[in-house]
């Protein structure tokens, strides 16, 4: 059974809300409501994003979050790395079957394939920014209004 990892998507959502507010702030409760995720998960994500320097968060009753940089200065790779999402793919940990040549040798080949695929993913994410996500939200909003 496979479990979807949503850390990158939630981190991107949080930062896009803040970008949408054009320098404005949002509380962790407002962000959790927007994401429709458990507030504890959202707060943990906020902590990761703050540690990475992507947002500034203040604590307490009047605490809120805001972007630390302009949306065009935050790459999706920055967000991906800050979210600490687990790798997209992983090689299984099942023991090899000694009588099967594929089973004995597949892991090294798969590790190389996955390393190259991950490098390609990171290269693509580095070429896109939070501004691109925000622009997509604005385009969808304009389309819905027309």
We report the CATH number of the domain holding residue 28 as 1.10.10.10
State pLDDT tens for residues 120-131. 999 999 999 999
* Residue 78 maps to a domain: yes
- Asked, for residue 1, whether it belongs to a domain, the answer is no
Domain assignment present for residue 25? The answer is yes
Is the pLDDT reported for residue 88 higher than 80?
Answer: no
Domain that holds residue 69: 7-145
Whether 66 maps to a domain, the answer reads yes
When pLDDT is averaged across residues 105-127 and rounded to a whole number, the result is 93
The backbone torsions φ and ψ at residue 68, rounded to the nearest 5 degrees and listed phi first, read: -90, -20
Q: What is the pTM of this model?
A: 0.87
- Domain membership flag for residue 62: yes
Provide the number of structural domains found in the chain: 1
pLDDT digits (tens, 9 = 90+) for 21-40: 998 999 999 999 999 999 99
Determine, yes or no, domain membership for 76. yes
Cα 3 from chain centroid (whole Å): 16
């Amino acid at each position: 059974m496979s479990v979807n990892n949503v850390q990158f998507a939630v981190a991107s959502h949080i930062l896009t809300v803040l970008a949408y507010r054009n320098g404005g702030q949002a509380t962790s409760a407002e962000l959790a409501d927007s994401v429709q995720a458990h507030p504890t998960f959202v707060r943990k994500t906020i902590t990761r994003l703050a540690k990475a320097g992507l947002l500034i968060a203040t604590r307490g009753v009047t605490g809120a979050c805001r972007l630390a940089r302009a949306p065009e200065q935050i790459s999706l790779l920055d967000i991906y790395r800050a979210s600490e999402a687990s790798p997209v793919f992983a090689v299984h940990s099942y023991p090899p079957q000694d009588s099967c040549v594929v089973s004995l040798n597949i892991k090294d080949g798969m590790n190389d394939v996955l390393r190259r695929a991950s490098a390609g993913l990171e290269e693509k994410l580095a070429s896109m920014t939070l501004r691109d996500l925000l622009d997509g939200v604005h385009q969808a909003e304009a389309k819905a209004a027309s």
